[in-house]
Amino acid sequence: MEKSSTSHRSGYVAIVGRPNVGKSTLLNGLLGTKLSIVSFRPQTTRNRVMGIFNSDELQVVFLDTPGVHEARGLLNRRMVDQALSTLSDVDLVMLMIDPRSEADPEQDSVLLERIRSKGLPLILVINKVDLVEKPRLLPVIQAWDEAVSPLAIVPLSALKQQGLDPLMAVIAGQLSEGPAYFPKDQLSDVSERFVVSELIREKLFIQLDKELPYSLAVEIEEWEEARKKGDVTRIMARIWVERDSQKAIVIGRKGARIKEVGTAARLDVERLLGTRVFLKLTVGVKKDWTRKKSVVEGLGHFDTKGHS
């Protein structure tokens, strides 16, 4: 732990809310880099992802969580458990909402009760305000203000990166003086392997229809680092599905779909690692893996601090 400074503030901040409200987009915007994957589909995020914001006077350890929803199935229940357990060790909660949804805080009763039971200070973040007319926005703000009594209400657009500076000012004002918990050049506690597997999974979400993306997992099987500048990092990743019929869909006609996924993912991975990358994707079948606890724990990456 670094030496404390009387002018330095620090703390842990959880980003919570329903699926698809823009939590991961917000985290990426605050950090200025792509750490959490995003897609237009709900429940894309499966894990708690840590992102660390650093400045000379401030360190904010953000915890991006899976969306809290009525979970059906083992995998979804594990995702919700991840979100709720994150509240055990934070200093501040950012509750994020989409004002286009019905203004009904009771739908979030489990999450709100957990926040109240911990006595956690709360900032209400209203995302996607650029998509809502002001007359429709005001009743939503009033309903949530009455339900959660937030310390502050911050309207913003995470996608357009509008309103992020005022949000950071509010967060900084709520955190106590304290040391940096992590080195100032550290961005996250997750491994590069995990981030790469998530980038591949993001491209699969974009490419595939209906329920299939929710039955996918990505496992990094081989990783050979570039030894010197100009060398290529070689990565072998396997995409796991639950049935043979899904395997054929992921591969696509004459391998076209998996090739497109690999090309898009490789570009993101090269930006992440700062090297040229050879990325090979294969597809395997683990029958009904989302229903088997031991497999879910492994392929679901619920321990994201593995070897990088």
| Helix runs in 39-163, H state only | 74-85, 109-118, 134-148
Pick the CATH number of 9-174 from 3.40.640.10, 3.30.1550.10, 3.40.630.190, 3.40.50.300: 3.40.50.300
215, pLDDT greater than 50: yes
The full set of domain ranges for the chain reads 9-174, 192-300
Residue percentage of the chain with pLDDT more than 70: 79
- Pick 38 or 117 by higher pLDDT: 117
Alpha-carbon span 145 to 152, nearest angstrom: 9
Model confidence pLDDT, tens digit, residues 258-302: 999 999 999 999 998 989 999 999 999 998 877 776 666 666 544
Alpha-carbon span 6 to 64, nearest angstrom: 28
Instruction: Identify which of 19-28, 29-38, 50-59, 292-301 has the greatest average pLDDT.
Output: 50-59
Answer yes or no: are the C-beta atoms of 85 and 111 closer than 8 Å.
no
pTM of the model as a whole:
0.72
User: What pLDDT band is residue 49 in, cutting at 50, 70 and 90?
Assistant: confident
- Pick 168 or 34 by higher pLDDT: 168
Pairing of strands 58-64, 49-54: antiparallel
Q: For the domain bounded by 192-300, which CATH number is listed?
A: 3.30.300.20
Alpha-carbon span 98 to 63, nearest angstrom: 19
Answer yes or no: are the C-beta atoms of 64 and 49 closer than 8 Å.
yes
